[in-house]
Amino acid sequence: METDMDSRKEQILQTVIHSYIFTGKPVGSHTVADSCGLRVSAATIRNEMATLEKLGLLTQPHTSAGRVPTDIAYRYYVDMLIGRTRPSPKDAEAIERLFEARTREIEGLLHEASLLLSTLTHTAALVFAPVTQADMVRHLDVVMLGEHRVMVIVITSRGQVGRMLADLGEPVSANTVERASRYLDESISGKALENIDSDSLVEGPGFGPAGRELVRIAVEAVRGYLSSIEERVFIGGTANIVKEMEHAGAEWVQTLLEAMDKQYFLLDLLKDLMCEKHLTVRIGEENRLRELQKCAFVGTSYPISPGLLGSLGVVGPTCMDYARTISMVEFMAENLGRRLLSPPD
């Protein structure tokens, strides 16, 4: 079997891919002959393309249209044919500008990162910042909202914040709330989840029944927060999915968008990333999630704090500009990491 790839086949494959990325239309032998730089005729190209088709790298939508790259071709392209590239100065600047302010609200930053990434790559972008599971309580506040209602705010040692509404069975006074807030802050601060003992706390300094209930509920809220992993994914540019993926069929786009609404769907995807250190590209059927099997996913992880990784990525058509997208995702991850990561002391 003399069916191996040689450099000419590679060049033809590359030309087909580039042309297809650019025009979105199947590529014919003449087009390739004109623009591949090889000084051979269209007939030769045809022969080579026939072999590439046998190898599973190209297909024809119908008998007499040009060729279209398969998922396997994109895989080959990504692995072998594109070197490491950096974003263009203009793109790099756009990303860097996002990070130049000296003080920056975190949620806003992540949200804007997803928007920027999506507009630069014409894809839907996902940014995910996980929280560490078991953490210590740094500060606790109980804010009175009404006679029967308080808000419990907890700050963890890593700087995560939870705000919980809590309903009380019995009315409490502002005074009680204030005392409970101080008491709880003092007793809980510095403790980890497993060291917070509801029972002994309730036995605290002379609260009435209402006060005791308040303490109990507040502790319950804190426990609930610390044990539930409140994980948000920031999504930007879902509109791009509609624009770029129309050719894949309306009802399919539909399903993908629905899936994007469900956060747990994305969490699986993004958590996978955090296992691998390197940038990951999943093309078509390589994706485990059925909804993604008609598109490509490019993602990577970035450091948040020592021992904690976040992840980000984009979802776009399989015929995306991989070189550009990869460089952009990588660059965004680097910058985000640099901005968030606390360097080791």
What are the residues binding a second copy (CB under 8 A)? 102-109, 115, 118, 138-139, 141, 143-149, 151-153, 155, 157-159, 161-167, 217, 220-221, 224-225, 228, 230, 232, 236-239, 242-243, 246, 250, 253-254, 257-258, 260-261, 305, 339-345
Q: Which of residues 55-114 bind DNA (CB under 7 A)?
A: 60, 62-67
Find which of DNA, a second copy, none residue 69 binds, CB within 5 to 8 Å per kind. none
Find which of DNA, a second copy, none residue 9 binds, CB within 5 to 8 Å per kind. none
Comparing CA positions, the residue from 343, 342, 345, 328 lying closest to residue 86 is 328
Report the distance separating Cα 176 and Cα 165, nearest Å: 17
Q: Which of residues 12-31 bind DNA (CB under 7 A)?
A: 26, 28-31
85 or 293: CB nearest a second copy:
293
**Is there binding between residue 46 and DNA (CB under 7 A)?**
yes
1 or 250: CB nearest a second copy:
250
Collapse the DSSP code of 137 into the 3-class scheme (helix H, G, I; strand E, B; otherwise coil) and give the result: strand
67 or 282: CB nearest DNA:
67
Comparing CA positions, the residue from 234, 313, 326 lying closest to residue 273 is 313
Find which of DNA, a second copy, none residue 66 binds, CB within 5 to 8 Å per kind. DNA
Comparing CA positions, the residue from 32, 56, 54, 53 lying closest to residue 44 is 32
CA angle 292–84–291, rounded 5-degree value:
0
82 or 164: CB nearest a second copy:
164
257 or 323: CB nearest a second copy:
257
DSSP per position, 276-338:
SSS-EEEEGGGSSSGGGTTEEEEEEEEEEETTEEEEEEEEEETTS-HHHHHHHHHHHHHHHHH
Sign of the C-alpha dihedral computed for residues 35, 36, 37 and 43 taken in this order:
negative
Collapse the DSSP code of 135 into the 3-class scheme (helix H, G, I; strand E, B; otherwise coil) and give the result: coil
17 or 214: CB nearest a second copy:
214
Contact 193, 227 (CB under 8 A): yes
Find which of DNA, a second copy, none residue 146 binds, CB within 5 to 8 Å per kind. a second copy
CA angle 238–280–135, rounded 5-degree value:
80
Q: Which residues pair with 137 in a beta bridge?
A: 156
9 or 339: CB nearest a second copy:
339
Find which of DNA, a second copy, none residue 242 binds, CB within 5 to 8 Å per kind. a second copy
Number of residues written out for the chain: 345
Find which of DNA, a second copy, none residue 344 binds, CB within 5 to 8 Å per kind. a second copy
**Is there binding between residue 40 and DNA (CB under 7 A)?**
yes
Find which of a second copy, DNA, none residue 273 binds, CB within 5 to 8 Å per kind. none
Instruction: Centre a 10 Å sphere on the Cβ of residue 175 and count the other Cβ atoms it contains.
Output: 10
Q: Which spans of this chain sit near DNA (rule: CB under 7 A)?
A: 26, 28-31, 39-44, 46-47, 49-50, 53, 60, 62-67
